[in-house]
Structure 1
Amino acid sequence: MDMATVRLGHRPVLLIVDVQVGVMAEAWQAERVIAQVKTAVARARAAQVPVLWVQHGDAEMPQGSVPWQWVEGLGPAAGEVLIHKAFNSAFEQTDLEQALAQCGATHLFLAGASSNWCIRATAYAALERGYDLTLVQDAHTTQSMPLGEGQEIAAESIVRELNIVMQWLSYPGRRNRVMKAEALDFDAALNQ
């Protein structure tokens, strides 16, 4: 069995980041991605894998505002952990690490938005802290990124690039991979 040697244990959790009205409003293929996030959540709940929710708030998306709300059909169920954040990484100045410790988490399954900001920052932060990581490859999205002078990076390219990176990135004693929402089998993923 190939699993993290940095953190003791073998417990998966699903981390849903920023699937909020204001974040998803202009995101690439938002409806499809929201459906895939719902699939990931349903599979985690059915497998009794803890689902942790991370909700971003800042000056552009203040807590309690319409853009700050979860998209329709998503949000924490009774007893599921909710973490509020103000930075890209879900680990920075939040209680996420304590919540993960209480769950005994060693392997994070990650979905949400935005791929090139909060998902990437959270993925790297998780790996740097010794967690194994599975990026749910069809359950994250972003907007196209303007580079100036009429150039931009298409959102689809950003999503595809992160999926490739998460397959090939290498950290000692940790494992990272990508997996589609429909294929999520938390036990099998941990044993591969």
Structure 2
Amino acid sequence: MATVRSVEKLVLMVVDVQAGVMQECENAAQTIANVARTVERARAAQVPVIWVQHESDELKRDSDAWQWVPALVPAAGEARVYKQFNSSFEQTNTDELLAQAGVSHIVLAGAQSNWCIRATAYGALERGYDLTLVKDAHTTSDLDLGNGTRIDAATIVRDLNVTMKWLQYPGRRNAVAAAEEVVFGGTGGNS
């Protein structure tokens, strides 16, 4: 059973907006700009930012592909998480970082929508966090199903936005909001 948190404290989690990930993503330039704008707004509201970076055979640590895109630079003191699985929670220190900060609500942005963003969103909700997905600050690439069928990236992004708007977990709130609509002040998040 999930631990539902009653105190409303936000964090912005930026997942995998790395050079090697973004090179084939749809609408990458606009998505990166929206992520950067969300980071800027979170910092202005003194909301912590956690940077999650994926490692794999294709994204070797410290390689050019593994680096953040040039438009995004973690600030001194902002937490970094290194992961090897889709979810930002699996075999990482994410839970500990969130607990230390007293976080109850995650604002989520990054890549790729159908893999690491979806897995992280479900991981957050299953652990009792409220969640706001930044609907114009996540992206992916087309998915080739191998039999001549493709699912285009825009459909994948739209599907996750719809899912996160209507999905329900007991005692938790989840929502979607555009980069300019995310509420970082007051009671936080969007409902």
Relative to structure 1, is the Cα distance of residues 150 and 191 closer, same or farther in structure 2, using a 3 angstrom cutoff? closer
The alpha carbon displacement at 1:109 in A equals 0.1
Structure 2 residue aligned with 1:111, among 102, 109, 112? 109
Superposed, 1:62-141 pairs within 5 Å as: 62-141=60-139
Identify, as 1 or 2, the structure richer in helix. 1
Query: Where does 1:1-192 land on structure 2 (aligned, <5 Å)?
Result: 6-187=4-185, 189-190=188-189, 192=191
Contact 1:5–1:174 (Cα < 8 Å) also in 2: no
Identity %: 59
CA contact (8 A) 2:18 2:53 kept: yes
Give the Å deviation of 1:84: 0.3
Contact 1:53 1:75 in 2 (8 A): no
Give the partner amino acid of 1:76: P
Q: Which amino acid aligns with 1:119?
A: I
Which residue identity does 1:31 align to in structure 2?
A: A
Q: 1:178 to 1:59 in 2, by over 3 A?
A: same
Q: Distance in 1 between matches of 2:77 and 2:37?
A: 19
Displacement of 1:186 in angstroms is: 1.6
Measured after TM superposition, the shift of residue 191 of structure 1 is 7.2
- TM-score with structure 1 setting the length: 0.95
Structure 2's unaligned 5+ residue stretches are none
Secondary structure of 1:16's aligned partner: strand
Aligned counterparts of 2:4 and 2:106: Cα–Cα separation in 1: 14
Task: Tell me the distance in 2 between the aligned counterparts of 1:177 and 1:18.
Answer: 21
Moved over 4 A (4+): none
**How far does residue 8 in structure 1 lie from its aligned partner after superposition?**
2.9
Cα distance in 2 for partners of 1:149, 1:40 equals: 38
Q: Which amino acid aligns with 1:40?
A: T
TM-score (norm 2): 0.96
Distance 1:191 1:162, change over 3 A: closer
**CA positional deviation for 1:49:** 0.2
How far residue 58 of structure 1 moved from its aligned partner, in angstroms, is 1.0
RMSD: 1.4
- How far residue 5 of structure 1 moved from its aligned partner, in angstroms, is 8.0
SS class of match (1:148): coil
1:184 deviation in Å?
Answer: 1.9
CA distance in 2, matches of 1:141, 1:41: 16
CA distance in 2, matches of 1:89, 1:191: 22
Count of paired positions: 189
